[in-house]
Amino acid sequence: MTYVIVGGGLAAAKAAQALREQGYEGRLVVVGAEPHLPYERPPLSKSYLQGKSEREKIFVHDAAWYADQRVEVLTGTSVTAIDRAAHEVTLSTGDKLGYAKLLLATGATPRRLPGDALYLRTVDDSERLRDVLASASRIAIVGAGWIGLEVAAAARAAGVDVTVLEAGSQPLLRVLGERIGAAFADLHRANGVDLRLGVKVEEISGGVRLADGTRVEADAVIAGIGVEPDTRLAAAAGLQVDDGVLVDASLRTSDPDIFAAGDVARAHHPLLDTHIRVEHWANALNQPAVAARAMLGQDATYDRLPYFYTDQYDLGMEYTGYVRPGQADDVVIRGDLAGREYIAFWLSDGKVVAGMNVNIWDVTDDIKALINSGAPADRAKLADPTIPLADTLA
Ligand SMILES: Cc1cc2nc3c(=O)[nH]c(=O)nc-3n(C[C@H](O)[C@H](O)[C@H](O)COP(=O)(O)OP(=O)(O)OC[C@H]3O[C@@H](n4cnc5c(N)ncnc54)[C@H](O)[C@@H]3O)c2cc1C
């Protein structure tokens, strides 16, 4: 019996680990397109990009671990097709590999723009960008999302002039809204970034031309305009796909022998009662244990709240929860927004649906408890740092 994991990222490595930890003894094959063992991406826009951490540190496991655990990792190899009836995948080498259970952990790939922009997804991209930052005197970044802003911070740390071009009225608008988005705009401007909001990029060619005719000169242009889940295999195999591979709360696709986890999975969340796709590290770290249990025929449900973090300059933050588009009708700040030491809460009908702690630590469990309580919170207590978070329900 063979279990096959498609994709060589964090979710793939954690799934292999979880299957062995949960007692799966059979043949286990990870097929990954990149020429590397599975590694973690967060350092690629932070410490690794800034030359502050070593390459060995990014790998989920070293080669000895896979050998010891009898996990075959086919690096530099893609799965090109799934034959569900034959329970078999085709590899880019032309070989076929039978499976009893299959996990799709194919992740996501950056959205592209026409022109000669650079992108940041892989360790190779990060090393290329590090070289660019070492020699460039000015760069332009298209998109003020997490990747764009983290690259901006790394570039400023390298002494490079940075222009960030964003179509929205604030950075990170879709996730954080106007007020907190503006706080991130202030952070970057305070660190010397030329942040231009509400601008439209017309052409990227040795710099950027904006729709109003303005030219932004740059030695390199980096685009961070979001990612698309890599659903090609799943769609071609006739699995249900809709902005991600659709899976139930046990991460099973519409085929009972095929599962999906990580950035590519759009899973039914039992507490939120909707399908969500989470493009963050913690999701790729934790979903695989549930997928592994389900692959082994056990009951398993993934019901963790989305969680992610960022580091930019001297700001570190964690965000917990999920806000549907247009759902938050109120934002409460506890602490010092301008001084960048605060917790922001997003509320819907008086209940906390998400919280973000900025330069304040060890509060994630309390924020989770507030959200999971599903009970209305007292606005004044939420805003008062002297009242313990556990005592802020109305
Ligand atoms: C630069 C950067 C910084 C980030 N920083 C943060 C952060 O600070 N906080 C946070 O929460 N999240 C962060 N993230 C997001 C986080 O890294 C992702 O959520 C995580 O990598 C998802 O893991 P995954 O295994 O699902 O997919 P991926 O990491 O995308 O891995 C999927 C792998 O599958 C391979 N693959 C695809 N198709 C096939 C195929 N057909 N056959 C074989 N292999 C295939 C791909 O080549 C890829 O290697 C960051 C991401 C990036 C790029």
| Same-domain status, 105 and 10 | yes
Task: Give the Cα separation of 30 and 13 in Å (integer).
Answer: 8
Residues whose beta carbon lies within 6 Å of some atom of ligand 1: 6-12, 31-34, 41-42, 44-45, 78-79, 105-108, 120-121, 147, 230, 233, 262-263, 279-282, 284, 308-310
Residue 383's φ and ψ, nearest 5 degrees, are -80, -10
Q: What is the pLDDT of residue 282?
A: 98
pLDDT of residue 32 exceeding 90, the answer is: yes
Span 115-133, pLDDT tens digits: 999 999 999 999 999 999 9
- Asked if residue 148 and residue 54 are part of one domain, the reply reads no
Residue 94 lies in a domain: yes
Residue 161: pLDDT band by 50, 70, 90 thresholds?
Answer: very high
- Position 303 in a domain: no
What does residue 268 show for φ and ψ, rounded to 5 degrees?
A: -70, 125
Residue 71 and residue 30 in contact, taking contact as beta carbons nearer than 8 Å: yes
- Determine the structural domain holding residue 157 and report its residue range: 123-223
How many Å apart are CA 81 and CA 91, to the nearest integer? 7
**CA 276 – ligand 1 centroid, Å:** 17
Average pLDDT value for residue range 30-40 = 98
Residue 164 lies in a domain: yes
299 exposed, middle or buried (CB, 10 Å; 0-12, 13-18, 19+)?
Answer: exposed
Q: What is the pLDDT of residues 165-216, one digit of tens each?
A: 999 999 999 999 999 999 999 999 999 999 999 999 999 999 999 999 999 9
Domain boundary among 223, 246, 265: 223
Both 183 and 329 in one domain: the answer is: no
Query: Which residue is associated with the tokens 């590899």?
Result: 91
pLDDT averaged over every residue in the chain: 97
* Whether residue 260 is found in the same domain as residue 191: no
* Domain termination site, one of 202, 223, 244: 223
Query: What is the structure's pLDDT at 9?
Result: 98
Ligand 1 centroid–CA 216 distance in Å is: 31
Please check whether residues 327 and 287 belong to one and the same domain. Answer: no
Residue 113: its pLDDT value, please?
A: 96
Q: Which two tokens stand for residue 278?
A: 């989470």
Average pLDDT over residues 346-355: 97
The reply to whether 233 and 106 lie within a common domain is yes
- Token pair of 164, please? 């960030």
Cα(350) to centroid(ligand 1), Å? 35
- Ligand 1, closest atom to CA 38? 49
Domain count for the chain: 3
Same domain? 160 vs 217 = yes
- We report the CATH number of the domain holding residue 191 as 3.50.50.60
Residues 71 and 22 placed together within one structural domain of the fold? yes
